[in-house]
Amino acid sequence: MTARILVVEDDPDISLTLCGFLRQAGYGVSAALDGLQALEHFHQTSPDLLLLDWMLPRLSGLELLRCVREGGRTPVILLTARASEADVLEGFRAGADDYVTKPFRMHEVLARVAAVLRRAQYGAGEAARGRLEVGSLSLDCERREARLSGEALELTVSEFEVLETLLYPLGTHRTPLR
């Protein structure tokens, strides 16, 4: 089943760009341009993830985040120009699952979306279990090993994590380890 993402961004150009990239990555996407519209849409559609700007008209992103947290655990990524350490900490205290500052790199946002959705789907301890396979590339997520056509790849921890994050949302097949 395709994850449904609600993009809440008051800048129409940023919203269109985000929605386009997310759709291209295979997600179901809807958008809201202000906080009240987003809250109404959230209650009507129950999205799997919110990609949320902080500075919104009618209801701030932080207020919207607090409303979302009152009713459940839908993952939320704050995507905002507010970049001070105090702002980041306030965002996490309010319940954000991740925090991305503007300007942002689209592929990083896509990787963070995939990672947050994976954590939400499998739970914190479950995300690292199993095997991801795409064509001749396979990742043993429990052992943190990657193979291409059966040959081991020497990857750093960061390289493995990026590869795992990118592979999961791209139609990969995940099998449990026995």
Domain parsing of the chain, residue ranges: 4-122, 131-175
pLDDT digits (tens, 9 = 90+) for 5-36: 999 999 999 999 999 999 999 999 999 999 99
The pTM assigned to this predicted structure is 0.70
CA-nearest of 124, 98, 131, 101 to 112 is: 98
Cβ 8 vs Cβ 50: under 8 Å: yes
Tell me whether domains 4-122 and 131-175 share a fold: no
- Give yes or no for residue 60 having a pLDDT over 60: yes
CA-nearest of 56, 62, 51, 52 to 25 is: 51
What percent of the chain is predicted at pLDDT more than 90? 63
- Spell 95-114 as b/e; 16+ CB within 10 A means b: bbbbbbeeeeeeeebbbbbb
Per-residue tokens: 27: 């997600």
Give 130's pLDDT tier (boundaries 50, 70, 90): low
The amino acid sitting at 143 is R
CATH topology of domain 4-122: Rossmann fold (3.40.50)
Statement: 131-175 belongs to CATH 1.10.10.10? yes
Which residues, in sequence order, are CB contacts of 132 under 8 Å at separation 6+?
Answer: 138, 139, 141, 164, 167, 168, 172, 173, 174
Cβ 170 vs Cβ 117: under 8 Å: no
Cβ 135 vs Cβ 126: under 8 Å: no
How does strand 151-153 pair with strand 145-148? antiparallel
What is the spatial distance between Cα 97 and Cα 77, in angstroms, rounded to a whole number?
6
Give 71's pLDDT tier (boundaries 50, 70, 90): confident
